[in-house]
Amino acid sequence: MNDSQYITRRDLLASAAALACGVSTQRGYATLNNQVKPKSVAAVISIYEPGTHADVLIGKILEGWKQDGGPGPALKLSSLYVDQVSDRDLSRGMAEKYNIPVFDTIEKTVTVGGDQIPVDGVISIGEHGDYPFNEKGQQLYPRRRFFKEITDTFRKYERVVPVFNDKHPGPVWNDAKWMYDRAREMKIPFMAGSSLPLTYREPEIKVPPGSEIEAAVGIGYSGLDIYGIHALESFQCLVERRRGAETGVKWVQYLEGDAMWAILDQGIVSQALFDAALAEVPKVREGDVRKDPDAGLFLFEYKDGFMGAVFMLQSVNRTSVALKLKGQPQPLATQFEERTEPAHPHFAYLLKAIERMFHTGQPSYPVERTLLTSGILDRTLNSRFQGGKKLQTPELAIHYQHVDYPHAPLPDLSSNPSLPLPE
């Protein structure tokens, strides 16, 4: 591959300076200073129906942050690939409305039907759709296939551009690691992950980088794979702020029933922190949470000895984390909100991070966070499949440097949609 095809440092500095002046969309609107030319995007999507991740991400590129025709990101959709088309499909109507070409292969989508790569970034959304499940309960979305075909196209046409992979790569560990390794080998700016680390937090809590976090407990809900990644990403985006982090995880274990609650009774995990996290999430079942027949625990130990505990409960319907900071007598706890109006706004903050990467050529935060949470999730599901066996995880010795990237409502897109995120 010709080095001249890579994004250069001059390109990065120029685009970062431009982004600092404000942004504009294909619809055009006033910015703080100057207009910035939108970056072009190719979208590779599993399915595009109302309320899917494709709808609440790509829909914001086409129709603005609130999907009402108003201001939006400085991005322009140039091409579209949809793997499955249902009777609820939105892609054909949206493509016709906004004059977006729809292609039948990923290569044609990335090249926009030509013989070069004219786009500035690729969004890959392998989420939702009719795909099989494996014996561990993981739905085998085509995220690796999508990424392989995208990056094969990069190789063929000797140019790379940034790629965002929605949710966790994989979802099985071997596929996640393959995707990560290929991105590094080809020097592709690569981001992935959940929208929840970027969402509203109620209440706001202050956890400065380098904090002495003594313990933490997370609570998640719904399916172990589909929502477990959201719970783990929420947990990790806070505990990665502890002093000396992040060096990875040395073992994982899945527990349920009496064995799960014994972890609290024996003091291995703090009951006070569990209670604090539980107090922040709405309940959908009355009574003692310990009688939740479908509850499970992701238990894992980091290489530095810090204990990770994420309780997956079916008696609640939101995600929370509680922390114990050294010198503070009371736990800090917060809920990671999932608002639906207007147009699932937490996805606007995820798209803001993607927009920033496409303009600067640099990930807004480390993909290693999502690689680590993907590995924790996959290995914990392995433990569950093996009857709760504790599994050593030398492959999860993943090091990365935390980036202090802000979350909603900083900036408040609804009042100042053109404001770029601070460095």
Give percent above pLDDT 70 in the chain: 89
Contact 48, 83 (CB under 8 A): no
pLDDT at 139: 96
User: Rounded to the nearest 5°, which phi and psi values hold at 171?
Assistant: -80, -15
pLDDT at 286: 87
pLDDT at 12: 36
> Could you report the per-residue pLDDT of 324-352, keeping only the tens digit for each?
999 999 999 999 999 999 999 999 999 99
CA–CA distances in Å: residue 340 to residues 56, 199, 290: 10, 12, 30
| HSE-up (13 A, CA, CB side) for residue 254 | 21
Averaged pLDDT for residues 295-314: 98
Q: Which residues pair with 302 in a beta bridge?
A: 249
pLDDT at 414: 61
Distance of CA 376 to the CA centre of its chain: 15
> Could you report the per-residue pLDDT of 350-369, keeping only the tens digit for each?
999 999 999 999 999 999 99
Q: Is the pLDDT of residue 27 over 60?
A: no
Looking at per-residue pLDDT, the higher value among 124 and 5 belongs to 124
User: Rounded to the nearest 5°, which phi and psi values hold at 96?
Assistant: -65, -40
Q: Where are the domains of the chain?
A: 3-195+344-365, 201-336
Q: Is the pLDDT of residue 2 over 80?
A: no
pLDDT at 34: 45
Segment among 9-23, 207-221, 255-269, 289-303 with least mean pLDDT = 9-23
Q: Is the pLDDT of residue 18 over 90?
A: no
Residue 116, number of CB atoms within 10 A of its CB: 12
Q: E-assigned strands of 257-355?
A: 296-302, 307-313, 319-325, 332-336
pLDDT at 410: 73
pTM of the model: 0.90
The CATH fold assigned to 201-336 is Dihydrodipicolinate Reductase; domain 2 (3.30.360)
- Type of residue numbered 248: G
Q: Is the pLDDT of residue 21 over 80?
A: no
Give which of 30, 95, 93, 111 is closest to 418, Cα–Cα.
Answer: 30
Q: E strand or H helix at 46, and its extent?
A: strand 39-47
Q: Which residues contact 392 (CB under 8 A, 6 or more apart)?
A: 250, 251
Q: E-assigned strands of 296-386?
A: 296-302, 307-313, 319-325, 332-336
Give which of 95, 72, 79 is closest to 42, Cα–Cα.
Answer: 79
Q: Is the pLDDT of residue 415 over 90?
A: no
> Could you report the per-residue pLDDT of 230-252, keeping only the tens digit for each?
999 999 999 999 999 899 999 99
- Type of residue numbered 420: P
CA–CA distances in Å: residue 94 to residues 27, 64, 80, 179, 235: 15, 13, 10, 30, 36
Q: Is the pLDDT of residue 54 over 90?
A: yes
User: Rounded to the nearest 5°, which phi and psi values hold at 395?
Assistant: -70, -15
Q: Is the pLDDT of residue 151 over 50?
A: yes
pLDDT at 315: 95
The CATH fold assigned to 3-195+344-365 is Rossmann fold (3.40.50)
Contact 365, 405 (CB under 8 A): yes
Averaged pLDDT for residues 10-38: 42
